[in-house]
Amino acid sequence: MRLSNYVFLFCALILAAIFSSCKMIDSEPPSYDLINIKYHQLTIDTLILNQISTSGKGFFRILDNELYFFDKMFYTVNKFDSLGNRSSTYLGMGNDSSEIEQFEYFINLNNHKRLFFGNDYRFRLYDDLWNKNGEDFIFNRNRPKRKYTKRDFKDPGMYDFNWDMSRLSTFWLPVNSNHQVIMPLTVTNQRNKKFNRFVNQDVFYANAKTFGIVDGFTGKLVAVAGEYPLIYRQSKYLDLFANNYMEVKEDTILVSYEAEKNIHVYSPQLELIYTFGSTGKKMNIDYPISKGIENYTNLSFADSCEFNFGYYTHLYYDKSYDLIFRSYTTGDKNFSGLQIYNQKVLIGDFKVPRKFNIIGKVNQFYYADGLVSDSNLSIFRFKLPKI
């Protein structure tokens, strides 16, 4: 080979390296931190609901412009009028077709079908009159193999439903236009002792998927997607703040991670398109260093983390005004924050009561879930001024 050929080959290699690195830069999804505050004040109204028999555990929903309270111990669904008076009670613990065995999550399937998901991994389908619709079906984790190694991180069979939500969770599982439920996922220590949140964390946080797509009529986990943001590896490793909250915006999926300021936006093909978001106000993000599974089993430590640090939680998308609402805690037990985004731009950031998860809009009022205890059921509401 002549010297000129070597020079040519060397140049070609250099060019190839440059082009490949350019491609890498191109493939990195864009990130936006845009702020244009338009709402400066929020006047919150508290609607105290007439006392009903409740266990003090549950969540609110808006369905067909009506307010409902789902009791997570009595398994009742209580409907309220706009003045806060109970108008009807449906379901309740039991085995009849007008009752329900149990539930943890409620999913509005968009086509007059109401789906419940229980911690027995069963889906229970009801019609819009709250009568049972067919047999229960089990969450099918799509797990044909008996054993999964860390190399199987793209395989749905590796993952489990992530039950480990914040105490401020409103048990929200969004649904896309194909009646598929978007679920938070994790790998449990029982499922894989070498690939989970608490061991081999560099490998786990670099590879693990964070949410799954589940068919709302069969319960089958059909796909997994989502990547933990870099902060989980940089901060070593924020195990107690590694949950994620999802919402559907038209045909995209929005994902908010507890410790990450950016909301991640995924295409219908489950590719990360872009990220956006701004840091919440007065958040204590001086997170403690992880001690692995010890963090998780030390309940008082986990509790203190939940109360003393700021993290992002619930997402809600309002199609009518094209607004995204994101709740966050600050680390102060008395108040939390609420961000409002229009497309990618932060247009409002407010101090709100500790649990304040937007669940819907009736007329001009946005409703937020809420205060739930044995002796008090209250929901918050507010109007956004015209801008």
Partner 1 sequence: MKISLYLSIVISVVFFLLEISTCYSQIHFEKSRIVIKQNQKHPDSTINEIFFFKNNTESDVLIAEVRTSCTCTTPGYSYDLIKKGQKGYVMLSTTTRQLMNSRKVDGVVKITNQKGEKFFYKIELRYD
- Count of positions on this chain that bind partner 1 (CB under 8 A): 11
Q: Find the shortest distance in angstroms from Cβ 300 to partner 1.
A: 12
Q: Find the shortest distance in angstroms from Cβ 164 to partner 1.
A: 18
Q: Are 244 and 210 in contact (CB under 8 A)?
A: yes
Q: Find the shortest distance in angstroms from Cβ 294 to partner 1.
A: 18
- Under rule CB under 8 A, residue 118 binds partner 1: no
Token pair listed for 39: 């709402």
| Binding window for partner 1 (CB under 8 A); candidates: 52-60, 161-169, 252-260, 266-274 | 52-60
- Under rule CB under 8 A, residue 149 binds partner 1: no
Contacts with partner 1, 10-49, as mask; x by CB under 8 A: ----------------------------------------
Query: Amino acid letter at 275?
Result: T
Q: Find the shortest distance in angstroms from Cβ 53 to partner 1.
A: 6
Give 31 or 119: the residue with its C-beta nearer to partner 1: 119
| Binding window for partner 1 (CB under 8 A); candidates: 72-80, 110-118, 266-274, 305-313 | 72-80
- Under rule CB under 8 A, residue 56 binds partner 1: yes
Contacts with partner 1, 82-101, as mask; x by CB under 8 A: ----------xxx-------
Q: Find the shortest distance in angstroms from Cβ 54 to partner 1.
A: 8
Q: Find the shortest distance in angstroms from Cβ 116 to partner 1.
A: 17
- Under rule CB under 8 A, residue 55 binds partner 1: yes
- Under rule CB under 8 A, residue 68 binds partner 1: no
Q: Are 378 and 49 in contact (CB under 8 A)?
A: yes
Report how far apart, in Å, the C-alpha atoms of 159 and of each of 82, 142, 310, 345 are: 41, 9, 27, 33
- Under rule CB under 8 A, residue 297 binds partner 1: no
How far is residue 360 CA from its own chain's centroid?
A: 16
Q: Find the shortest distance in angstroms from Cβ 106 to partner 1.
A: 18
Q: Which of residues 215-274 bind partner 1 (CB under 8 A)?
A: none
When binding is defined by CB under 8 A, the residue of 18, 48, 73, 230 that contacts partner 1 is 73
Q: Find the shortest distance in angstroms from Cβ 100 to partner 1.
A: 12
Select from 252, 106, 75 the least CA-distant residue to 169.
Answer: 106
Q: Find the shortest distance in angstroms from Cβ 102 to partner 1.
A: 9
Helix spans in the chain (H):
3-27, 201-207, 231-234, 293-297, 299-308
3-state secondary structure 349-384: EEEEECCCEEEEEECCEEEEEEEECCCCEEEEEEEC
Give 55 or 252: the residue with its C-beta nearer to partner 1: 55
Give 53 or 178: the residue with its C-beta nearer to partner 1: 53
Give 58 or 212: the residue with its C-beta nearer to partner 1: 58
Give 25 or 299: the residue with its C-beta nearer to partner 1: 299
Give 51 or 149: the residue with its C-beta nearer to partner 1: 51
Q: Using alpha carbons only, what angle is made at residue 115 by residues 111 and 121, rounded to the nearest 5 degrees?
A: 150
Contacts of 147 (CB under 8 A, 6+ apart): none
Q: Are 348 and 340 in contact (CB under 8 A)?
A: yes
- Under rule CB under 8 A, residue 374 binds partner 1: yes
Quote the CA–CA distance of 39 and 93 in Å, as a whole number.
44
| Strands 335-342 vs 345-353: parallel, antiparallel or unpaired | antiparallel
Residue carrying the six token digits 């247009």: 347
Contacts of 276 (CB under 8 A, 6+ apart): 31, 32, 33, 34, 262, 263, 265, 341, 344
Quote the CA–CA distance of 336 and 356 in Å, as a whole number.
8
Q: Is 222 buried (19+), middle (13-18) or exposed (0-12) by CB count in 10 A? A: middle
Give 78 or 210: the residue with its C-beta nearer to partner 1: 78
When binding is defined by CB under 8 A, the residue of 67, 70, 76, 369 that contacts partner 1 is 76
Select from 368, 349, 348 the least CA-distant residue to 359.
Answer: 368
Q: Find the shortest distance in angstroms from Cβ 341 to partner 1.
A: 39
- Under rule CB under 8 A, residue 53 binds partner 1: yes
Q: Are 265 and 250 in contact (CB under 8 A)?
A: no
Q: Enumerate binding residues for partner 1 (CB under 8 A).
A: 53, 55-56, 71, 73-74, 76, 92-94, 374
